[in-house]
Structure 1
């Protein structure tokens, strides 16, 4: 692991595999960090150049100064990742994003489609439209959670992510290391619409759906519709793949099935 400085901040980055291999870049969601993708480094690094990173304010990456409503905007997070890829001299890569990481993936496709070989998301919806006043309420609640008795409050939030006690413990540790970044990133996730982008993408788009990710699965309808429209228009192999016995952080709950199905998608023909 190493620290890469871009946009005036230090970012924790983990790289494994040979640089000449196809790229696989892993982006976590709100409250997590690069530790979420340890299994993917172990499984894919023989054939891929695997990169995971901790977004600003998460893990060992630095938290920016300034209003978090601006410093954690999705376009800014995407620019962080793009500059890290450029620093690593990655020309084209598969993008794997969980939850907020998938939304960052959409924005990377939007800003720099030339960098993307395929986009794979899990626990991510293509559109979110939370009313402004509710976003402000959520921001206040999140700020309280990470500043007032965070051990108790974040432990309860972690318990909601998985039915596996070991996964819950790992998620809790990641949440505790992301206290600076959680409110800003979750605020940014309150309002976005990448459905038109999904329909217009010129690279394969895959959704890995954890069967136990109840909340996200309730809102996947419009995203799946956009994926179907894109696949029909382009004739690309865009599709949804179901992962059993897995929740929001699908790769932690069922890593064996997750890696197997992911390899089927990114494996060169």
Structure 2
């Protein structure tokens, strides 16, 4: 302390456990200007009567209140205004908690998907019952020779969405029923997005009922799928199953997680009826 009860900016920073840079930022934002600035040295000094103001700023910042709102309050101090600000911030915190809860569930889903993929029994055809699910899809005829070939279709699915498709669900491709019956596996007819329960998608959504599917997981990606479809077609024919819908082909581990193609895992699901 010096100059008749004034505190240097560094002393104030130490007293309030904040950085000098933060105090300079508050000054620039118009929240707390030094009581006195020495024009010869450029040193900034604060008085004790500014400490209450600084305490208020720190309190409101802990509540994550924007600096603009804090500055507005400091220029128009009022009990009603403080109540209104706190109520608004409480609502913002509640909404943030909801968003974080969704993110937590998304992380949990992705961890389970990775664990499921890592424990996959590869090259074994199975019959599984798949629970009801929500799907957003677009017709898109494409042949995939690189993971980049999907990008334009993914951007279409992503159009007008608040969240990116990467955050929403799992992107997959499918072959239409009529082409499966003709054993035509050289191209795909649709790109789809499997939505998690909490996903909010702005656009047409189809509710798929529970399905019985012939499934196969293999090491590789969409570029390696033709031979897998041929194996599954033989299995379906051998067991006299009937194909009832389009295939769902999803990469469970791909370039989004690793550059090691030997660790890629893709699953194909073909819905069938058993007579």
Per the normalisation by structure 1, the TM-score is 0.21
User: Whose helix proportion is higher, 1 or 2?
Assistant: 1
Find the structure with the greater CA-based Rg.
2
